[in-house]
Structure 1
Amino acid sequence: MPTPDPTAPKVPGTASAAPKKPATRRKAPAKAAPRTTTKSTAKAAPRARAAAAEQPHATAASAAVTKVLEPTSHHVPVVVATPAPRPTPHVSIGRIPVVEVSPVVEGGRWPAKATPGEVVPVEATVFREGHDAVSATAVLLDPAGTVHSTAPMHDISPGNDRFQGFLQPDAEGDWTFRVEAWSDPYATWAHDATVKFEAGIDQELMLAEGVLLFERIAADDAQATRSPEDARVVAEAAHVLADETRLPAARLAMATTPAVREALTRSPLRDLVSPSADFPLRVHRRRALYGSWYEIFPRSEGATRAPDGTWTSGTFATAAERLPAIAGMGFDVVYLTPIHPIGTQFRKGRNNTLDAKPGDPGSPYAIGAAEGGHDAIHPDLGTEADFVQFVQVAADHGMEVALDLALQCSPDHPWVTSHPEWFKTRADGTIAYAENPPKKYQDIYPLYFDNDPEGLRQAVLDVVLVWIERGVTLFRVDNPHTKPLDFWEWLLAEVHAKHPEVLFLSEAFTKPAMMATLARIGFHQSYTYFTWRNGKDEILEYLQEVSGPSGSVMRPSFWPTTHDILPPYLQHGGVGGFAVRAVLAATGSPTWGVYSGYELVENVPRPGVEEQVDNEKYEFKPRSWGHADDIGISLLLGRLNQVRREHPALQQLRNLSVHHAENGNVLVFSRRVRAEHLPLAAGGDTTQVAGHTDDVILVVVNLDPWGTQESTIHLDLAALGLTPPPGTDGSAPFFVAHDLLTGDSFPWGAHPFVRLDPRHQVAHVIQVGLG
């Protein structure tokens, strides 16, 4: 049984309540208390008033019912507070209620996130008393507070009053949005008139009211916003409605055609407009949402081994020679593991052994040596000028450089001697090294933020600013969940204020609450559980989760493997398995990445752990790339990145739909950007936009890396933006499915049959509607 927490509040009626003491006889006071106020009560009175002032419902009314029992010969002064009615709350709900607005983070405590061109779904619950129709408009305000654009909202859950619309910011900055609910007099009239005509009552009266309504519509400010065609449709309807020479039914029919309804949806007459609060929306640059990352250990690129077994490290110059090939596969970001001096005390050997041999380079995560700490460069890699040149070569090939930010130190780090207060000291006087029992990491000292938080915070900020000055624009943060969240919130805000273009990727494989809160406080992207989602149902469930409401806060980054993780599926899946996971990662998330060697299908684990044997964290690992194209994965990576670059649908997150496949080894999902959103969604990273049609990508994947799988699939045509030919249910082929991986095209209907052999093709990545 756990020991009760002595600091926990004791709640009456629970097991934690303090036991009652036996009743004791109350002793009479030795003598009557004086009637004068004592010094102690005089001092207590201001404190009591201050405490009362801090109570949210403390008012003059509640003070009036507080009585002081005057002392008598038998009583000491006692303050008795009798309950008072709660004050009437401020009326904050609008004439037309707007509640449950999204995307809103903790009531607006932190901003929701977007990027220029991102399609942002806005939802709210809107309703009113009675039966009159209501509707809503999403309103986007730019960083200056000016209305930038509005979007109609539609009821997406009839009976539940849930409305949805889409906003699309076009620049970076701190934007806001709101939802305006309003009474819809046209929809109310159209409904009531139709019902009464069907019942044969008040027909002339309803037509007369309709004439007055259309006169209001013509005089309303919205008239100026209508397109010429919409204005013509509305004017013609008003003319026919007012023509008493026509039959009543014909007059009503003309005023309620689909064209009139659509025109008055686009530019409505709005009564009783009731706005919600304004909610924050922080718009980061596009790379915060969309990009393809490639991870390298710079020391391995160009490393050589002499006949006597001694190694010569790769350098920034030799690593730069690899950049054209990485760019050739379509990657946007080259991510470098730590490039700092490495400690010698307790240095780890190959495969994480404790006995490092002469020449073993050690783990780059054991940061710090005599040559310097987090702001220094390992001398074997080159100089600061060499690093800056590496960044420039990457930029010349269209790539940015991301750097690993690992806030931990080797025992040789300069901070250990200059700032021992930044580390936790144990009872025996030693500094605590990193542990994850039963694992011990004697070569790493975690930082401790509670002795000198201000000093340590500033030191880390200085390090980050140094690397930004050297050209780093993204940081992959190692294990941020092991550092205080208030530190991260401060650091990210400081960097954003100085360099809003700099982005941070959170490498926190941890509990959902921690991952989500790291995103809330400012991390731009996060690693995810995708690496361990392998079955059909769990993959689809996870895709829906990260593409749903959480996508307004936590942007996912999908990695099939990392230098730390080699999941069982890839240990046993062969080339087919690596192809499957690449397709899922590249199409399942706008941001994805691979670790160097993925093209070579490096799938041999170290016994007993989910990571590669002969792990690159502990040794040099130069690779022979000559036969990579023969394996086929490098070609697949290049094609996937090209498709992603050409199709805005794959650059968005919150646009996923799931379709049904009868075979449990075949999964199907799609992503769609509507035509009206394409110009902004395309941004500057696409080479083509599909004219005036929607951009729709349909992904069909065989999850079995070894066996051929076939299935009939059942498509949600509405989710694809498709309408079957008149008089059909869509079963017969009526659209073209163009496979972007192979160039093949197929005539498809709502229920196509697919067959995928992993020896040749693990997936279809279909562009819908184009030949």
Structure 2
Amino acid sequence: MEMSKGPITDGLRFGRFPITAVQPVVEDGKFPAKALPGEGIVVGATAFREGHDQLGVSAVLFDPEGNERQRVRLAPPRGERGMGTDRWEGVLTPSDAGDWSFAIEAWHDRYGTWHHNAEVKVDAGIDVELMLAEGSALLAEASGDDSRNEADREALGRAAGTLADASLTTEERLGAGFSAEVADIVARQPIRELVTVSRRFPLLVERDLAGRGAWYEFFPRSEGAVKDHTTGAWTSGNFRTAAQRLDAVAAMGFDVIYMPPIHPIGVQHRKGPNNTLIAGPNDPGSPWAIGAAEGGHDAIHPDLGTFDDFDAFVARANGLGLEVALDLALQAAPDHPWVQSHPEWFTTRVDGSIAYAENPPKKYQDIYPLNFDNDPEGLSNEILRIVLLWVSHGVKIFRVDNPHTKPVWFWEWLIAQVNKEVPGVVFLAEAFTRPAMMHALGRAGFQQSYTYFTWRNTKKEIEAYFTEVSHESPAFFRPNFFVNTPDILTEYLQFGGPAAFKIRAALAATASPLWGVYAGYELYEHVARPGAEEYIDNEKFEYKARDWDAAAHSGRTLAPYITRLNEVRHAHPALQDLQNLTVHHSTDDATVVYSKHKTLPDGSKDTLIIVVNVDPHGTRESTVSLDLAALELDPQDLTHNGGFHVDDLVSGESWEWGEYNYVRLDPHVEPAHILRVRRMHQ
């Protein structure tokens, strides 16, 4: 029953039982926490009471119509049981996209209180008959509860009668009240009193590709580009030739095909190969220098084709199960139409010139940043028009270039406006910047973000970062683990050899529900421009023709391994959730061990253990110690049944494992185990 209300309690911040520190809650509910259909969302609160009676705590999930859809009894978190922290946790699982909510309930646990008191007092011979009588009265009352099913009411009534039967022994009477049958009934439907209910907190459940998916990036102008070796001139690829590459991308199991900007490229201050300041007559320039005489953000580069060609490309991708993601780069080349029509959308310097982009010591003379302070309404509405234009051509995912260089308020407004017009449009933040800004963009509405994963390479770094993104920030920050980008070729990949490419792909594909690669990764492209963390002969500034067929015939390609990773991802729901990652211990300082565990709707368990040697140069041996509770494995069952079996989903090998396991990984043979736990009943 609800706690009674009256003049004394009206307006007080605390209810009958205090409920504080509710999670996942973003800035006290000003922004909704993020979720996905079928995702296990860890909910928790600190709840406590005066005295020594038992407290029960539950979480209740409400669908967009406000109907109760799930009720879960919370328990102390693993590792905090018996520590008196008053922290309670459980998992809620929304089923569909929409504006959901949840609340926490704290209540006097009448059965739990009686059970505890009876156990202690009867064993000590204190108030024995009184405790048996109280238990009988409690269960008799519960047996009359019309909200319970008939079988449960009858079972509770029988137990109440046995507790009251003085002809039986104390042990027999108490055993009826403590029976597994009664415990199961009150676990499913507790006997509650003095219920205190928190306010409801928002939970935004977005479509799958907002937080799950494998991304592949390519430049359409390079796919099908042909070089005349006599003149050195190139013929650009286009949407029709790029569409021919989509079959291979889909065959590798990717879900999203992402293209850099496809708009006309500026001529003024166009960059040449390797970011040189002088471009030759055949140099195509950077796609991020948007705008020329042919148009701006609402136009297509003539070399790539027409809107009809683009529509055909999108249709071909969709037919193969791929969604098209388009780059949204809010900046302009010096010859963008906006420069003449709306100079107020840029920053004018004292000498009358327009300021170009700089990130000292880097200079981007071919790009003018936008200024949102002079005409925020006009500029914002123009960008909204452009985004909706591309949405009308089938684009429902945007990878946003450098969003941290624009006001956060703008993104909050734009993403809300777009999704109001067309629900389900996804925005990925390409924001390699300070954590506060990255997290603010997530709160503002970005469904996912690039991350620091690219630079987390040691065991210590990886374990800390995996724990952070899966447990500390998932309510507002969804990490997309890209292994490389046109801008980023880490030293780890430059000098780690093919093993490094395998290691990073295995980590990215199994640790996050979102991961991505930029074309050429599967060919082990690793040569950097001297002194830079970028590819030499960077595709941002020139065409790149790759011989995919020759790589496949020679076997020098990571494509089969990437394909297998994506197959495993699609087959195992545990890899599609973010918050279910647990780091386990290993004795070696280069062996990373973590698991992903999920209870499926039918009650079965999907459990994967990933063991990775992050040293691409040497074989590593280690003893792996598993947190069995995190895997929902009972140590006693293992003792009686001699362990459990694991199947390597890459190599096909199987082993019997237990709590402690020897592992040896040669990175030149296979640097990672992706192990499916095969339980006794499987």
TM-score normalised by L of structure 2 = 0.95
C-alpha separation in 2, matches of 1:502 and 1:434? 29
Amino acid at match of 1:611: E
1:220-269 Cα deviation digits (max 9, x unpaired): 35523x8x5x6665444333222221111321133123443233122101
Q: Is the 8 A contact 1:222 1:268 kept in 2?
A: no
Q: Would you say 1:486 and 2:409 are equivalent positions?
A: yes
Q: Is the 8 A contact 2:142 2:153 kept in 1?
A: no
Q: Would you say 1:574 and 2:483 are equivalent positions?
A: no
C-alpha separation in 2, matches of 1:365 and 1:665? 39
RMSD: 1.6
C-alpha separation in 2, matches of 1:100 and 1:222? 31
C-alpha separation in 1, matches of 2:202 and 2:193? 26
CA displacement at 1:693 relative to structure 2: 2.4
Q: Would you say 1:121 and 2:21 are equivalent positions?
A: no
Counterpart of 2:656 in structure 1 is 747
C-alpha separation in 2, matches of 1:563 and 1:135? 53
How do 1:202-351 and structure 2 match up within 5 A? 202-224=127-149, 228=151, 234-306=156-228, 307-351=230-274
Counterpart of 2:13 in structure 1 is 92
How do 1:708-719 and structure 2 match up within 5 A? 708-719=619-630
Q: Is the 8 A contact 1:340 1:375 kept in 2?
A: yes
Q: Is the 8 A contact 1:222 1:267 kept in 2?
A: no
SS of equivalent to 1:497: helix
1:376-432 Cα deviation digits (max 9, x unpaired): 000000000000000000011100000000000000000000000000000000000
C-alpha separation in 2, matches of 1:104 and 1:174? 14
C-alpha separation in 2, matches of 1:196 and 1:670? 43
Counterpart of 2:4 in structure 1 is none
C-alpha separation in 2, matches of 1:256 and 1:288? 47
C-alpha separation in 1, matches of 2:557 and 2:235? 31
Residue in structure 2 matching 1:443, options 351, 362, 366? 366
Counterpart of 1:522 in structure 2 is 445
Amino acid at match of 1:257: S
Q: Would you say 1:644 and 2:555 are equivalent positions?
A: no
C-alpha separation in 1, matches of 2:144 and 2:530? 78
Q: Is the 8 A contact 2:137 2:160 kept in 1?
A: no
C-alpha separation in 2, matches of 1:369 and 1:635? 41
C-alpha separation in 1, matches of 2:313 and 2:164? 75
Counterpart of 1:162 in structure 2 is 87
C-alpha separation in 2, matches of 1:231 and 1:417? 79
1:441-463 Cα deviation digits (max 9, x unpaired): 11000000000000000000001
Deviating more after overlay: 450-459 vs 707-716: 707-716
Percentage of pairs with the same residue: 55
SS of equivalent to 1:718: helix
CA displacement at 1:198 relative to structure 2: 2.1
Q: Would you say 1:564 and 2:475 are equivalent positions?
A: no
Q: Would you say 1:133 and 2:54 are equivalent positions?
A: yes
Deviating more after overlay: 711-720 vs 397-406: 711-720
Amino acid at match of 2:354: I
Counterpart of 2:578 in structure 1 is 653
Q: Would you say 1:143 and 2:64 are equivalent positions?
A: yes
Q: Is the 8 A contact 2:503 2:614 kept in 1?
A: yes
Q: Is the 8 A contact 1:599 1:628 kept in 2?
A: no
Counterpart of 1:592 in structure 2 is 515
C-alpha separation in 2, matches of 1:347 and 1:317? 26
Gaps of 5+ in 2: 1-8
SS of equivalent to 2:17: coil
SS of equivalent to 2:148: helix
Counterpart of 2:3 in structure 1 is none
CA displacement at 1:733 relative to structure 2: 4.3
Q: Is the 8 A contact 2:325 2:395 kept in 1?
A: yes
1:347-403 Cα deviation digits (max 9, x unpaired): 000000001111000000000000000010000000000000000000111000000
C-alpha separation in 2, matches of 1:763 and 1:459? 48
C-alpha separation in 2, matches of 1:700 and 1:222? 48
Q: Would you say 1:358 and 2:293 are equivalent positions?
A: no
Amino acid at match of 1:741: V
Counterpart of 2:666 in structure 1 is 757
Moved over 3 A (4+): 230-236
SS of equivalent to 2:264: coil
C-alpha separation in 2, matches of 1:627 and 1:256? 71
CA 1:748–1:384 in structure 2 vs 1: closer, same or farther (change >3 Å)?
same
Residue in structure 2 matching 1:434, options 334, 352, 357? 357
* Number of residue-to-residue matches in the alignment: 665
Q: Would you say 1:533 and 2:442 are equivalent positions?
A: no
C-alpha separation in 2, matches of 1:89 and 1:346? 68
CA displacement at 1:549 relative to structure 2: 3.5
Q: Would you say 1:421 and 2:344 are equivalent positions?
A: yes
C-alpha separation in 1, matches of 2:618 and 2:100? 50
Q: Is the 8 A contact 2:136 2:159 kept in 1?
A: no
Q: Would you say 1:106 and 2:8 are equivalent positions?
A: no
CA displacement at 1:155 relative to structure 2: 2.2
C-alpha separation in 2, matches of 1:336 and 1:259? 59
Residue in structure 2 matching 1:456, options 379, 389, 405? 379
Amino acid at match of 1:408: Q
CA displacement at 1:695 relative to structure 2: 0.3
Counterpart of 1:722 in structure 2 is 633
Counterpart of 2:5 in structure 1 is none
Q: Would you say 1:465 and 2:374 are equivalent positions?
A: no
Q: Is the 8 A contact 1:123 1:163 kept in 2?
A: yes
Structure showing greater radius of gyration is: 1
SS of equivalent to 2:628: coil
CA 1:89–1:275 in structure 2 vs 1: closer, same or farther (change >3 Å)?
closer
1:569-625 Cα deviation digits (max 9, x unpaired): 111111000000000000010000000000000111111111111100000011011
Q: Would you say 1:404 and 2:404 are equivalent positions?
A: no
Amino acid at match of 2:327: D
1:200-237 Cα deviation digits (max 9, x unpaired): 1100001111111101211235523x8x5x66654443
CA displacement at 1:136 relative to structure 2: 1.1
CA displacement at 1:708 relative to structure 2: 1.3
Q: Is the 8 A contact 2:648 2:654 kept in 1?
A: yes
Q: Is the 8 A contact 1:628 1:634 kept in 2?
A: no
TM-score normalised by L of structure 1 = 0.84
Q: Is the 8 A contact 1:135 1:181 kept in 2?
A: yes
Q: Is the 8 A contact 1:120 1:168 kept in 2?
A: yes
Q: Is the 8 A contact 2:143 2:154 kept in 1?
A: no
C-alpha separation in 1, matches of 2:610 and 2:624? 11
Gaps of 5+ in 1: 1-87, 680-690
CA displacement at 1:632 relative to structure 2: 4.4
CA displacement at 1:711 relative to structure 2: 1.1
Q: Is the 8 A contact 2:144 2:153 kept in 1?
A: no
1:648-669 Cα deviation digits (max 9, x unpaired): 0000001011111111111110
Q: Would you say 1:701 and 2:612 are equivalent positions?
A: yes
Amino acid at match of 2:621: E
C-alpha separation in 2, matches of 1:628 and 1:645? 26
C-alpha separation in 2, matches of 1:392 and 1:572? 40
C-alpha separation in 2, matches of 1:278 and 1:398? 37
C-alpha separation in 1, matches of 2:266 and 2:214? 32
Q: Is the 8 A contact 1:103 1:549 kept in 2?
A: no
C-alpha separation in 2, matches of 1:487 and 1:520? 13
SS of equivalent to 1:166: strand
Q: Would you say 1:153 and 2:105 are equivalent positions?
A: no
Counterpart of 1:184 in structure 2 is 109
CA displacement at 1:89 relative to structure 2: 9.5
SS of equivalent to 2:74: strand
Amino acid at match of 1:650: L
SS of equivalent to 2:592: strand
Amino acid at match of 1:751: Y
